[in-house]
Copies of this chain bind each other. A is one copy, B any other.
Amino acid sequence: MNVKKRGRLAIRRRTPPGSSPGTLVVDPAAIRPEVHLMRYGPEELVEQGVDGVDAIKKQLGQSPVTWVDVRGLGDLEFIEQLGDVFEIHGLALEDVVNVHQRPKVDEYEDHLFIVARMHLEDVTGGSEQFSLFLGKDYVLTFQERPGDCFEPVRNRIRQNLGRIRRSGPDYLAYALLDALIDVHFPVLERFGEVVEALEERVISQHRENLVAEIHQIKRGLLGSRRAIWPMREMMSSLTRDESTVISEQTRIFLRDCYDHTVQLMDMVETYREIAASLVDIHLSALSYRMNETMKVLTIIATIFIPLGFIAGVYGMNFNPEKSPWNMPELGWYLGYPFALGLMVLVAVGLVLYFKHKGWLGQRSRFVPRQIDI
């Protein structure tokens, strides 16, 4: 996935300021919803596509858990009807279709409303909004489009793996959130690798200006931080939540899930600190190389400019015939060797001076010694 693309900054809200709260304005580009329904208990499993509110109503309450998964937000009427069936507050419905919410938990009388962001590993770029309503015997979820990271969860239901069939809808909600969060681990692993590669390049070769690349990484990490931080807050409030729709047993699982978000934040912050430090090294390397460049120029210029001056002096055209004071050196028997010797003397003197200053004879060493601790 391309760091650039995921970093779209400006969030466009569709509802105009001042419009009535709970006004549902559907993005014209939104996909028409497909609805997938699973209802299950320890002994039973019904899985089917449904295409109307009535079909959903019929299934509701027949099993311990009913999961209605709406994929696509492009049908206003249908979503409003769903809202009626599940007795959802207008504001929550508005948040469902207005797909730029921060992750959060809102508690309503007999259900919880959870908003999270779903990153798809195999799709380049971006995240989509995932909304979840958790009631006594149902889970209602909304995705922006078909295609998600929940297939392993569905398989666990289908194959009756683990405790999922024996647990309530709160456990299903947990399993979905857990899947959402764990997707971040491979993304951050790749960030870690890129940071390490950059670190290697910054320390070893120093030819290119890497700050723009470091900036891209920082930008990408900023994006991850924006995604994970409110997830962490959300999980933290879920674990502390007093509502009755979450059982004590599930709370232990949510705590584990919360630990994952803490670990993710820890990774993000570590990478960010390293990236910030890389900028420092890189700037110092630029500065150091400039210094080296200047030293070469200074040494060459400082040695040859005086020599050139001497040559210039003896290139003057004063007429030695007019006066014994006029450039008698030109007529000396050893005039030329004398001039050359003078030049050598000056050059040697300057070289010694630079040696004394320590500008020569010491190899510029940038790659640091390995520190063993």
When the two chains form their complex, are residues B300 and A319 in contact, meaning their CB atoms are under 8 A apart? Answer: no
How many identical chains are in the complex?
A: 5
Cβ-defined contact, B91 with A253, below 8 A? yes
Residue contacts A-B, CB under 8 angstroms, 20 given: A1-B372, A2-B372, A2-B373, A9-B271, A13-B182, A18-B152, A18-B153, A21-B174, A104-B259, A207-B362, A209-B285, A213-B368, A213-B371, A215-B277, A279-B284, A296-B298, A308-B308, A316-B317, A316-B339, A319-B335
Instruction: Mark interface residues in A106-148 (1 if CB within 8 Å of B CB, else 0).
Output: 1010000000000001000000000000000000000000000
Distance in angstroms between the alpha carbons of A245 and B95 in the assembled complex: 26
Tell me the minimal C-beta distance from A252 to chain B in angstroms: 6
A266 and B11 CA atoms in complex are apart in Å by 11
A358 contacts B by Cβ under 8 Å = yes
Q: Is A294 an interface residue (CB 8 A)?
A: yes
Given contacts A294-B297, A309-B311, contact A102 B266 (CB under 8 A): yes
Question: A288 and B288: CB pair below 8 A?
Answer: no
Q: Per-position contact with B for A309-329: 1 when CB-CB < 8 Å, else 0?
A: 101111111111011011101
B368 contacts A274, CB within 8 Å? no
Least CB separation from A9: chain B residue: B192
Inter-chain CA distance A151–B16, complex, in Å, is 12
Contact present for A185 and B13 (CB under 8 Å): yes
Q: Which of A1-40 contact B (CB under 8 A)?
A: 1-4, 9-13, 15-23
Binary contact readout A182-198 vs B (1 if CB under 8 angstroms, 0 otherwise): 11011111111111100
Contact at A336–B327, with CB atoms within 8 Å?
yes
Distance in Å from the Cβ of A290 to the closest Cβ of chain B? 5
Residue numbers in B under 8 Å from A317 (CB-CB): 314-317, 327, 330
A257, chain B: closest CB distance, angstroms: 8
A166 at the interface (CB under 8 A from B): no
Structural contact, B215 and A203, CB atoms closer than 8 A: yes
Are B281 and A211 interface neighbours, CB within 8 A? yes
Q: Look across to chain B and name the residue whose beta carbon is closest to the beta carbon of A13.
A: B185
Which of B207, B211, B304 contacts A284, CB < 8 Å? B211
Cβ of A369 within 8 Å of any chain B Cβ, yes or no, is yes
Q: Is the CB of A203 within 8 A of B196?
A: no
Contact between B293 and A300, CB atoms less than 8 A apart:
no
User: Among the listed stretches A50-58, A64-72, A74-82, A218-226, which one makes contact with chain B, having 4 or more residues with CB under 8 Å of it?
Assistant: A218-226
Interface size on A, residues (CB 8 A): 157
Are A308 and B312 in contact, CB atoms less than 8 angstroms apart?
A: yes
Query: Which B residues are CB-close (under 8 A) to A308?
Result: 304-305, 308-309, 312
Chain B residues near A22 (CB-CB < 8 A): 162-163
Question: Which chain B residues lie closer than 8 Å to A314 at the CB level?
Answer: 316-318
**Quick one: which of A164, A196, A226, A311 has the most chain B CB within 10 A?**
A311
- Cβ of A294: which chain B residues have Cβ within 8 Å of it? 290, 293-294, 297-298
Chain A residues 81-109 with CB under 8 Å of chain B are 89, 91, 94-95, 100-102, 104, 106, 108
Q: Is the CB of A283 within 8 A of B287?
A: yes
Which residues of B have CB within 8 Å of A296? 298, 302, 357
Q: How far is the CA of A174 from the CA of B246 in the complex (A)?
A: 31
B329 touches A333 (CB 8 A): no
Closest CB of chain B to A95's CB: distance in Å?
8
